[in-house]
Structure 1
Amino acid sequence: MPELPEVEVSRLGVSQHLDGKTISDIVIRTPKLRWDIPKADLAKLIGQKITAISRRAKYLIIETAIGHIIIHLGMSGSLRVIDKSTPLKKHDHVDVTVGDKVLRLNDPRRFGAVLYADESGEHQVFEKLGPEPLTDAFNAEHLAEKCAKRKAAIKLVIMDNPVVVGVGNIYANEALFLTGIHPLTPANKVPTEKIPQLVSTIKDVLAAAIKQGGTTLKDFSQTDGKPGYFAQSLFVYGREGEPCLRCKSELQGVKIGQRASVFCSQCQPE
């Protein structure tokens, strides 16, 4: 599943081609992905100039003066900016045309979303989202407050969107390893001195992933078709049974909240 860095890389790639351009057409080939696609509302944006390409959590937002297109890539979605004459592929569901170029959404599993928001930019999918992890609003005081009364595993807490958005499974694994925190540690038992370190590490891991182009996953590549490269630098994710890159102990795996978690029992003691 594309995580925050992958979506941010997509935003950066898309912006080069769409920002400041006029939407000449919007083609909806599939009436419903995760939710119904509001075809009539989106049609209002034809003829409108794109004023910005922004992101909230894992949602990409194409902004105009009168309304916004909200895109979520779901489990397997990807975006391409291509010539509008490019032949369709299976699972190409939505086109946003600007001049001779098309932003095309491909989503084999159809867990993604294409939604509409008016000029206020407000939508119910944003209502319960916590702070962005790379902003000052996500800080040690905020995380300490959220952890104080929660007995849930710290990994689940930092992946909880009302606490902080966009810390998906890959980067939660990595941040906890680098901070030396066992992923099953109850949030209210995380040592006080570890909280600022965890916040800082989450920021560093996500920023590094964005800089290096997103994680190479079978379901993701950048808007120009080139895969990301950050997967080559992962310490624990996807490496269960392999030696720890720090202490050479065998990495262990456990399911937490139905998600695969990999950790080093020596570097991340319970």
Structure 2
Amino acid sequence: MPELPEVETVRRTLNELVGGKRIERVTVTLPRIIQRPAEPEAFAAALAGHTIQTVERRGKFLRILLDGLVLVSHLRMEGRYGVYRQDEPVELHTHVRFRFDDGTELRYKDVRQFGTMHLFAPGEDLANAPLNKLGLEPLDDAFTLQAFKREVAHRTTKIKPLLLNQAHIVGLGNIYVDEALFTAGIHPERAADTLKAPDWARLYDAIRATLGRAVDAGGSSIKSYVNGQGEMGMFQHQLLIYGREDGACTRCGGTIVKTVVGGRGTHTCPACQPLPGNRLKAKVKPRAK
């Protein structure tokens, strides 16, 4: 958390809230948030006087485009942005403040302190870490069924960890992988190279549809996620399987189980998502002598 739909929602709200605003001063109170440049003082000095033009997204990263600079920000687990009046009290765990010349400021708050910020010259951000090794964007026009299969269909990895790997497909996290696999009727432990053409078509459609509906709903507020205006997402009310362990499957009425796949909690309906070769074999009684 947050995943692609949540970051996309933050991007849209930040565009509305800070687009066109000129930075007067930047204050950093937790230096390790700033990954590039190495010194937070250099980060703050470089941004002063620049104007935010627009906010874009690459995978789970925000790309804040300014006149002559690009700020790459990752929210990690609980990072959040909000716009405040400069005279409003600063909340606990607020680590970076971007003061604008109109009396407002953008504040970055992060209770877990895992978020990161990188500053680049235009064009350098996409050619350097952390963006240079990211995979396909699942909501882009370039993400076709053919491109999807070309990237992952030949791999022997289990399908869930493969979809979570940002080097192949970006933006997908635990929630939406569980939802897409359930929608497609594919067990998360299936090896990618065992999926057939109809499986790939269903999974492709499920990924696009699930993410699209989640973006429309403003993302999922499972824990602490809110957008740049402090509003919760609403897609958690539409989740079909994630977080519903021991509940009834919405499709067949069977019991949803929670296991661990690739180190991640995983929700599955054994009836709707069968794992080939894993069906229980009937016990054969020994013959009487």
TM-score bucket (shorter structure): over 0.9
Partner of 1:227: 232
1:193-216 CA-partner distances (Å, limit 9, x unpaired): 121221121111111111111101
Instruction: Verify: 1:110 aligned to 2:110, yes or no.
Output: no
1:33-63 CA-partner distances (Å, limit 9, x unpaired): 3847642034212111211111111111111
Aligned residues: 270
**Inter-partner Cα distance in structure 2 for 1:232 and 1:34:** 35
User: Is contact 1:138–1:164 with CA below 8 Å preserved after alignment?
Assistant: no
Partner of 1:174: 179
**Inter-partner Cα distance in structure 1 for 2:14 and 2:153:** 40
**Inter-partner Cα distance in structure 2 for 1:12 and 1:201:** 23
**Inter-partner Cα distance in structure 2 for 1:183 and 1:104:** 38
Secondary structure of 2:47's match? coil
Instruction: Verify: 1:252 aligned to 2:257, yes or no.
Output: yes
What is the one-letter code of the residue matched to 2:193? Answer: N
**Inter-partner Cα distance in structure 2 for 1:110 and 1:41:** 18
Partner of 1:120: 123
Partner of 1:198: 203
**Inter-partner Cα distance in structure 2 for 1:239 and 1:38:** 45
**Inter-partner Cα distance in structure 2 for 1:218 and 1:167:** 17
Query: Which consecutive residues of structure 2, in runs of 5 or more, have no partner in the other structure?
Result: 276-289
Report the more deviating stretch, 119-128 or 160-169: 119-128
**Inter-partner Cα distance in structure 2 for 1:178 and 1:237:** 11
Residue from 66, 69, 75 that aligns with 2:68: 66
TM-score computed with the length of structure 2 as normaliser: 0.89
- Given the superposition, is the C-alpha separation of residues 145 and 106 from structure 1 closer, same or farther in structure 2, using an over 3 Å criterion? same
User: Is contact 1:175–1:201 with CA below 8 Å preserved after alignment?
Assistant: yes
Aligned counterparts, 1:1-270, within 5 A = 1-33=1-33, 35=35, 38-39=39-40, 40-98=42-100, 99-122=102-125, 123-270=128-275
What RMSD over aligned residues (CA atoms) do the two structures have, in Å?
A: 1.5
Identity %: 33
Q: Which has the greater radius of gyration? A: 2
Secondary structure of 2:33's match? coil
**Inter-partner Cα distance in structure 2 for 1:154 and 1:75:** 23
1:114-149 CA-partner distances (Å, limit 9, x unpaired): 111112242310111012110122221122223333
- 1:11 offset after TM fit, Å? 0.7
What is the one-letter code of the residue matched to 1:49? Answer: T
- 1:96 offset after TM fit, Å? 1.4
Secondary structure of 1:24's match? strand
- Given the superposition, is the C-alpha separation of residues 34 and 50 from structure 1 closer, same or farther in structure 2, using an over 3 Å criterion? closer
Report the more deviating stretch, 237-246 or 189-198: 189-198
Secondary structure of 1:126's match? coil
